[in-house]
Amino acid sequence: MMESQFLETSPDTVIHFRITKTPSTSDQQMKSPLVVFLHYWGGSSATWHKLTSSESPLSLSTRYPSVSIDLRGWGQSTEPVHGATAGDYSITPMASDVVSVLNHLKTGLTTTTRFENGIVLVGHSMGAKVALAALCSLPDDMLVLIKGLVLVAPAPPTPLALPLEMSEQQRRAYDTEESVRWTVQNVLSNQERLTDEDLSMIVRDTLAGNTLAKDGWILHGMQEDISPAVDELSSRPNATGIKISVLAGELDMVEQKDRVEHEVVQALTARGFPVTFTVLKDVKHLIPVEDPEAISRAISTLLAD
């Protein structure tokens, strides 16, 4: 069972998030950290449904309390409308929204107990870069609660500037139902691992994103360099003790495994973070729907160490 909540994080920006709510909280859930899910460019909180829905056989809902967030402009989250630009959808403002949601939950009368056992941040692709940026901007009293990160097919903290023609192609990929379907089936996923319901959900979520949110990642978020913030994070007391699990798809054409290893795994390891790296066989980019079990294993392994 999922409960929807909304939080105004800045004028005209309202962030929607879903909280797992079981009829009776299990003993295991009472002792487990809060898992926070952040979706990819084109997704929503529904991207994680195989891990969060109580109806899914792979659901984590009886083991971990969780929050899955619609990043601004996606899902049911609204966008700034007065004088907004694509720059308002870059990594820094999205990370700020995440911190606001966490602070809201931590101080809420009915949700503060969910933080008693700490937090695990799980981010996919763009959401992984947002997760890392949010980690960097957490105040000390929140940073000490972080048990670890799971970065799924992560966009690196360093900038990536696409050639103009490629950038335009990527922007057009989310224009119509037909273009989204083609992109999902031919670029983003090993379609043999998707059900018809998966595909319909992905198409619906992608088309629902507003234009500025779609442009914001390509024109700004992808090119934003958060590595100075990661450098600063690594100098904060106890920060480098935060464990990080990185997952990459063997067949991923978006965040290729070699690039993930070099620009994410090696970069974080060089800064002193304990990082594990797993390449998932026969998987492309949409790991939350293609191989959700791998994410479940990564969370369990990270917390068992």
Count Cβ atoms below 10 Å from residue 163 Cβ, excluding itself: 8
Residue ranges in the chain modelled with pLDDT below 50: 23
Residue 203's H or E segment, with its range, is helix 196-208
Query: Tokens at residue 64, please?
Result: 């971990």
Q: What residues contact 24, with CB distance under 8 A and at least 6 apart?
A: none
Query: Tokens at residue 236, please?
Result: 């904060």
Q: Which amino acid is at 182?
A: W
- Quote the distance between the C-alpha of residue 70 and its chain's center: 9
Residue in the structure block whose two tokens are 């294993």: 297
Q: What is the pTM of this model?
A: 0.95
What are 29's strand-pairing partners? Answer: none
> Hey, is 21 helix, strand or coil?
coil
Residue 229's nearest CA partner among 139, 134, 161, 155 is 134
Q: What residues contact 166, with CB distance under 8 A and at least 6 apart?
A: none
Asked if 34 contacts 65 with a C-beta cutoff of 8 angstroms, the reply is yes
Residue 218's nearest CA partner among 280, 153, 173 is 173
CA distance 259 to 279: 12
Asked if 169 contacts 162 with a C-beta cutoff of 8 angstroms, the reply is no
CA-to-CA separations, 22 to 28, 66, 160, in angstroms, rounded: 12, 11, 41
Predicted pLDDT of residue 141: 92
Residue in the structure block whose two tokens are 């939350």: 288
What are 3's strand-pairing partners? Answer: 19
Looking at the chain, how many residues does it have? 305
Predicted pLDDT of residue 24: 52
Asked if 38 contacts 122 with a C-beta cutoff of 8 angstroms, the reply is yes
Asked if 53 contacts 59 with a C-beta cutoff of 8 angstroms, the reply is yes
Asked if 21 contacts 54 with a C-beta cutoff of 8 angstroms, the reply is no
What are 247's strand-pairing partners? Answer: 152, 278
Predicted pLDDT of residue 108: 84
- Quote the distance between the C-alpha of residue 79 and its chain's center: 18
Q: What residues contact 179, with CB distance under 8 A and at least 6 apart?
A: 172, 173
DSSP 278: E
2-304: CATH homologous superfamily? Alpha/Beta hydrolase fold, catalytic domain (3.40.50.1820)
